[in-house]
Amino acid sequence: MSHHLFLLSPSDTPLYNLTHYSSKPSQSTSSPLASNLPSWSTSAFAGTLTALSGASSATQTQHGQGGTVKIGAGQDRHVIQMIANASLDAIEEVMRKDSVMYLKSVDKFNEWTVSAFVTPGNMKFVLLHESRNDDGIKAFFSDVWELYVKTMLNPFHTAHTPIRSAVFDSRVRASAKKYL
Amino acid sequence: MSYAQPHARFSVLSNSSLSSGEHLSPAASSSRFSLPSAPSINTTSTPKPGARPNIYDRQLNKTRTTEVSSAAFAFLFSEVVQYTQKRVSGINDLERRLNTLGYRIGTRVLELMSWRTESASKAPKRETRFLPALMSIHTHVWRAVFGKAADAIEKSVENSDEYMIIDNDPPITRNISVPRDMSSLSCSSFTAGIVEAVLDGLGFSARVTAHNTPNDQFPNRTTILIKLEKSVLEREEALKT
C-alpha cells in the first residue's frame, strides 16, 4: 500500500515528492468494480471507468495498454502525477472558500484518494493514498508543515525552489513511517 | 584572500559528482578541504552523536518570546541602508531594494507566525478573506516583528482598493535621520516589504509602499499604503455574495 506526497508552491511548481510504501495493514476499501475482476483486466476497465467519470484520461489509456500489465489503475509514475495534477483544480476550488488548512479528501480516482493540506503561505501538500486514514494523515501533514516551516526559515533557502536537503528527506520518511 | 576560498569551494562542488546535485552546503563531502568532521550530506537517517546541529532539530517555539536588542538591529539596519545607498540610482530604487529585503523576511514571518499560533489546535485555520487578513497583519505581524500592535488601519475614501496601516513611531526608523533633499524617502519600505510578502503569501497580491506622514504629535509617523490588485478586488466581491 503506497502513498505519494507532493509539495507544490503557490504557482504549482513541484518542490518535493516522496513515495512511501507502508507496512501497515490496509483497511479494505471497496473499489467497486475492480475487486470482483481478475487483476489483469482492471487496467482495461480502468480506461472505461475514467472515460465514464469524465476525467481527462486519453493519455492514461494509452499508457495502460502500451506498457506491461499493471495491477489496479495507478501504479505508473505518470499516472500518479496525472492524478495529482488533476486534483489541483479541486483543491483550488475548496481552498478559496474554506478557511481550514487540512482539506480532507478533495478528489477520488479509482482507488486513489487525494488529500490536501494548504499552508497559510498557499503551499499545497498533496497526498495520494489508497486507504482511509484521516487521523494519521492529518498528523503526517502537521509534521510535514513543521518541517517545511523550518526549511523556509533558512535564510539561504530561496523561496519556492525545490527542497533538496537530505535531512528534510529523512525526516519526512520517518514521519511517514510513523503515521501512515 | 578570504574571498578566494568560497569561490574555490563552489567550483569543486560543481565538478564533483554529488548525488544530491547542486546542494551548496559547505559540509558536502569534498576531500580536498580539511573541514572539521562534518557529516557528509549523503548519509541518511539519524545524525551521529556529535554531528553538527541542523535546523530541523530546533524547536520553533523556543525563540517565541525572545527579543533582539534594538541597538544591534539599528546598527545592522543602518549598515544595510548605507550599503544599498552606494549601489542605487535614486530614491525609488532604494525603496525598492529595501522592499525586496523586507519581502524575504515577510514570507518567513507569515509561515512562522501561523505555525506558532495554529500548530497546537486541532483544526488549523488560515485567512481567506481580505479584511480578516488585514486585521491579522495589523495585530499579529506587528506584534511578532515589533512587539506591539500597529496604531491604526484606515480605508481610503477615494480609491476602493487602497488601505493604510499607520504606525506612529516605527522602531526601525527611529534612529535614522533623513537628509532634507531626500525627504520623500522612507526607510519603512522595509516594513512595507514585510507586509507585501505576507499579503502575497495569503493570496492577495498588492503593491505596498511606505510614506512619511508626520504630524505634530508624532514626527516619525509613517503610513504603509496597500494598493490591492484588481483581481483580488473582484474575487472579494464574488466571495462576498
pLDDT tens digit sequence for A139-166: 888 889 888 988 888 888 888 888 888 8
Q: How far is B162 from chain A (nearest CA, A)?
A: 22
What residues of chain B lie within 8 A of the CB of A122, using their CB? Answer: 201-203
Tell whether B4 is covered by a domain. Answer: no
Length in residues, chain A: 180
> Would you place residue A74 in the very low, low, confident or very high pLDDT band (cuts 50, 70, 90)?
low
Q: Which domain holds residue B113?
A: 68-239
**Quick one: cell of A156?**
539561504
Fold of A2-22+74-179: Beta-Lactamase (3.30.450)
pLDDT at B1 over 50: no
For residue B85, the domain's CATH number is 3.30.1380.20
User: Between residues B91 and B196, which one has the greater pLDDT?
Assistant: B196
Tell me, rounded to whole angstroms, the distance of Cα A3 from its chain centroid: 7
**What type of residue is B62?**
K
Task: Determine contact: A153 vs chain B, CB below 8 A.
Answer: yes
* The pLDDT of residue A83: 86
Rounded mean pLDDT of chain B? 75
> Would you place residue B73 in the very low, low, confident or very high pLDDT band (cuts 50, 70, 90)?
confident
Task: Determine contact: A122 vs chain B, CB below 8 A.
Answer: yes
Work out the average pLDDT over B7-17.
42
Alpha helix stretches (DSSP H) within chain B: 4-15, 70-86, 91-118, 130-136, 142-146, 189-202, 230-240
* The pLDDT of residue A84: 85
What residues of chain A lie within 8 A of the CB of B203, using their CB? Answer: 10, 122
> Would you place residue B51 in the very low, low, confident or very high pLDDT band (cuts 50, 70, 90)?
low
* The pLDDT of residue B169: 83
> Would you place residue B6 in the very low, low, confident or very high pLDDT band (cuts 50, 70, 90)?
very low
Rounded distance, CA B7 to CA A118, Å?
39
pLDDT at A29 over 80: no
* The pLDDT of residue B22: 36
**Quick one: cell of A17?**
515528492
Tell whether B41 is covered by a domain. Answer: no
User: Among A44-48, A111-115, B94-98, which stretch is predicted with the lowest mean pLDDT?
Assistant: A44-48
Instruction: Determine whether the interchain pair B112/A149 forms a contact, defined as Cβ–Cβ distance below 8 Å.
Output: yes
pLDDT at B193 over 50: yes
pLDDT at B43 over 80: no
User: Between residues B141 and B4, which one has the greater pLDDT?
Assistant: B141
User: What percent of chain A stands above pLDDT 90?
Assistant: 1
Question: A125 has which bridge partners?
Answer: A7, A117
Q: How many structural domains is chain B composed of?
A: 1
User: Between residues B1 and B80, which one has the greater pLDDT?
Assistant: B80
Q: What are the phi and psi torsion angles at B161 (to 5°)? A: -105, 15
Tell me, rounded to whole angstroms, the distance of Cα A6 from its chain centroid: 6
Size of interface A-B (CB pairs under 8 A): 98
* The pLDDT of residue A24: 64
